Homo-oligomer: A and B are copies of this chain.
């Protein structure tokens, strides 16, 4: 592709369900869970085929991001308002700096294994050639109820048209989606600034006040004028011309502690260990332990996550790992997150 390809890595979130590893001052993308180097470092390295990698983050994380990935340029969002405003701002700034670029957007806090570049390049070419908004779809290996799904429409060879996006389903619906060949929506996208602008700036779209303000050169006012909103809701679900490119990699959003079971090997007791924790299990099976420099003994317990970072300890059944959200909401309300 002769147009410049600019990767935008989104690193403004916190990932609260991985508390207490993730905290307000130490977001999920700065953790080294499930591999060598932090998730952010691995994401930036994964995008190194792009002509430039831009990391978009909130002011509080900017220094940590600069330190973690000095090879990337850092774009500081005027305010943390979810992925919609962040990507509108990044796309606008990239269009100013590059000549006719294609934008590749990717989350910084997912676990990915396999060859990313070929499919990413293909998606970028589809975005450039067709003017479609492109989403990358992961082939599901289970009827996960924690992800959104992409329903493919007519197959166009390098891509399929998107027939519809579907929110996180219940178990029965998820099974149906998997059987029907739907994809997981991995949160990885490609577009041209023109295509993005057209969809995001439509008169009734949530981001249109921001798009207008960016045109006027007043991003602060633009961020003030919009509510936090995901790019999925604010742009993709409203766009008429969306393509899906299958992404043939092992992918996990590492959203909560039970996910470690999927990406790390278990020992004979079914124990999965992340970080520098050492574990002794006495009649204890299928537990997840995470922590640094900690020695955890489990006696007669099953299917628990035991997590220890700093002076914080969390114990939760892996089946209830999503409920850490409720905990963090309480902690956050009291300034303890």
Contacts and interface: CB of A to CB of B under 8 A. Distances in A.
Interface string A275-313: 000001011000000010111111111001010100111
A331 interface: yes
Interface stretch (A100-108, A127-135, A264-272, A315-323): A315-323
A246 interface: no
- Contact-size category for A: 20 to 34
Contacts of A323: 282-283, 299-300
Given A293-B311, A294-B311, A311-B295, A300 B316 contact: yes
Given A300-B317, A301-B317, A317-B300, A312 B295 contact: yes
A299 B329 CA distance: 13
Contacts of A330: 280, 282
Nearest to A279: B313
A56 B312 CA distance: 38
A315 B311 contact: no
A295 B309 CA distance: 10
A13 to B, nearest CB: 20
A324 interface: yes
Instruction: Give the oligomeric copy count.
Output: 2
A331 B320 CA distance: 30
Nearest to A305: B299
B313 A327 contact: no
A293 to B, nearest CB: 6
A307 B298 CA distance: 11
Nearest to A283: B323
A314 interface: yes
A136 B173 CA distance: 67
Given A280-B327, A326-B282, A327-B282, A304 B295 contact: no
A326 to B, nearest CB: 5
Contacts of A327: 280, 282, 297, 299
15 contacts: A19-B297, A291-B313, A294-B311, A294-B312, A295-B312, A295-B313, A296-B314, A297-B314, A297-B327, A298-B314, A299-B326, A300-B320, A301-B315, A301-B316, A308-B308
A15 interface: no
Nearest to A314: B297
Closest 10 CB pairs of A and B: A299-B316, A300-B320, A297-B314, A296-B313, A282-B327, A295-B312, A299-B323, A299-B327, A282-B326, A294-B311
Contacts of A298: 314-316
Nearest to A320: B300
A312 B297 contact: yes
A291 to B, nearest CB: 8
Contact of A280 (B297, B301, B317, B331): B331
Contacts of A27: none
A201 interface: no
